[in-house]
A and B are shown apart, each in its own frame.
Chain A
Amino acid sequence: MSVRDLVEANAPEEFGYLDESSKREIRRAILTAVAVPGYQVPFASREMPVARGWGSGGLQVTLAVIGATDVLKVIDQGDDAGVNAANLRRLVVSTTGVDWTTDAREATIIQTRHRIPEGPMGAHQILVLQVPVPEPLRGVERDMRELGRMHAEADYSRMWVSLYEDLVRNGVITRTTGYPVLVNGRYVMATTPVPRWDVPKLDGSEVLFLFGAGREKRVYAVPPHTKVEPLTFEDVAFEVERTEGAACVLCGATEAYLIEVPERQAWVCSDTDWCERQRQPGGGAPELAQSPSHA
């Protein structure tokens, strides 16, 4: 028996873009992340065929967890047709052969660089988020060792001070994406890339949320049914973004995350898939992931 025969006989079945040992390493990091919700787990971020900062972290997570029967959806902002989303989707689909969809209800893995889909999601789904800056305390501390100590001791007083300063200087909390949350009563976590609007959807969800930061080489997770609380003072209510009187010009929705179209002085839904379904006959029934903050 030659060496070649031995290697071939023991070669694992390759599936998708990543080799098996890479997948195993990323899955181990993901398992740790799920076991310790909100904790940033280092992993050996691979060179990917997309530049770091363009979703390489989310892509690696997706490629590590995807299987042949999964159905993939990729969202850029709220839109499946964005160039970045289309490229990432093409890469995953062409290397794994999985089915893909734009319908958030049909997908089993949804990779996103901004939004959590507007509609309700279920236990059969995994949401993979592309994270630019995984460290919630980066704005208040740059020293990695000190950051490690702060997380280890749950010493988040300077995070609270930054919220205090924001309120004092601006009268309101101005932070939009990356609003800090306390996960499972233990770790403060950055909710990048999602806007404040989507933060309440992380709390007690049916869905497994996996966050991947390729450049910073970190993964972290919010498993289903995990308590996720936005950091807010007792007497300053957490608020989602909202513009009085704004409604989507396409579907008429007011209770959805809207983006402005400046040249038309109009608002449209950020989640194009959901918006489209609201416009179909019989699709107008409320189908929103509601939470008290959205009421």
Chain B
Amino acid sequence: MTVVRDLGLRVANLTKWYGRVLACESVSFDVGRGEALGIIGESGSGKSTVLRCIAGDVAASSGAAELRDAAGDAQDLFGLTPTERRKLRVGTLSLVYQDPSEGLDLRITAGGNVAERLTAAGWRNFGALRRRAADLLGRMDVPLGRMDDPVSTFSGGMRQRVQLAKAVANNPSVLLLDEPTTSLDASVAAGVLDLIRGILEESQVTALVVSHDFAVVAMLARRAIVMHEGRVVETGLTDQLLEDPQHPYSQQLVAASRG
């Protein structure tokens, strides 16, 4: 299996209507190859919609999104057939959901969930599947003794670790993270956050991190955009956004995160 690595992501004028409700409007940004970009905004600001449009879970109303390799060749994401999109999401692009039950089958084991992504990529050797799943789960600090337990018996933090193991199983080029720590207790969230930071640093994956929490984005992404009522209101280095927010809404968010 050939894995296309080192892809950048470009989103241009992405607009999404849900019926008569405008979820996001003319959202544009670039994520460089190997870069992590944060999207900050409160609930309802449209940031998750952006992510789901890129992943293809929902269809964008207008706009474009494409993956670009080092040679400058682009792959259009919105023009994919469902089959092509499924293939893309097996190998190239992974989405980690806020709610692990969206990304996992809770009835099957932790190892089985990871194995699903691997078998979809053509793995047909039981021993190799076991070793790869154990290796991935080990890296996510899931105790190997729990590998053969159904995920339904896992705590929230542990489920999120399994979801991360599954998401990176085929070394994706692009990783989309939708509020990956929001549903977790503070102490558990800190551990998962550390883990994600490790993945981003180690694998040089191109990442998009969506969160309402400035602190989460600041920890994972050097650059971020701020969304408010479906529009991008500010873009900049995360440090600068934290230190010197320009837009009144960004200022509110920063103030809120300092609590």
Contact = CB atoms under 8 A, between A and B. Distances in A.
Contacts of A165: 108-109, 112
Contacts of A266: none
Interface stretch (B21-29, B40-48, B116-124): B116-124
Contacts, number: 48
A161 B112 contact: yes
Interface string B89-130: 000000000000000000011011001110110001111110
Give the one of A149, A153, A164, A169 with max B CB within 10 A.
A164
Contact of A164 (B82, B83, B86, B126): B126
Contact of A234 (B109, B115, B124): B124
Interface in B131-181: 148
Interface string A38-81: 00000000000000000000000000000000000000000000
A149 B126 contact: no
Contact of A168 (B119, B124, B148): B148
B249 to A, nearest CB: 41
B112 A164 contact: yes
Interface string A145-180: 000010001010110110011011100000000000
Interface in A232-279: 233-236
Given A155-B86, A164-B112, A235 B125 contact: yes
Contact of B83 (A153, A158, A233, A236): A153
Interface of A is mostly: helix
Interface residues of A, number: 16
Contact of B108 (A155, A161, A233): A161
Interface in B28-67: none
B129 to A, nearest CB: 6
A90 B235 CA distance: 81
A164 B115 contact: yes
A161 B126 CA distance: 10
Give the one of B109, B116, B119 with max A CB within 10 A.
B119
A234 B109 CA distance: 21
Given A149-B82, A153-B86, A168 B111 contact: yes
A149 B85 CA distance: 13
Contacts of B124: 160, 233-234
Contacts of B129: 164, 233
A160 B126 CA distance: 10
Contacts of B115: 160-161, 164
Contacts of A167: 126
A167 B109 CA distance: 12
Contact of A169 (B83, B117, B125, B148): B148
B148 to A, nearest CB: 5
Contacts of B111: 164, 168
B119 A164 contact: yes
B125 A168 contact: no
Give the one of B83, B86, B112, B148 with max A CB within 10 A.
B112
A160 to B, nearest CB: 4
A160 B109 CA distance: 13
7 contacts: A153-B82, A155-B120, A160-B115, A160-B119, A160-B124, A161-B116, A168-B111
Interface of B: 82-83, 86, 108-109, 111-112, 115-117, 119-120, 124-129, 148
Shortest beta-carbon contacts, A-B, top 7: A157-B120, A233-B126, A160-B119, A157-B119, A234-B125, A161-B116, A164-B115
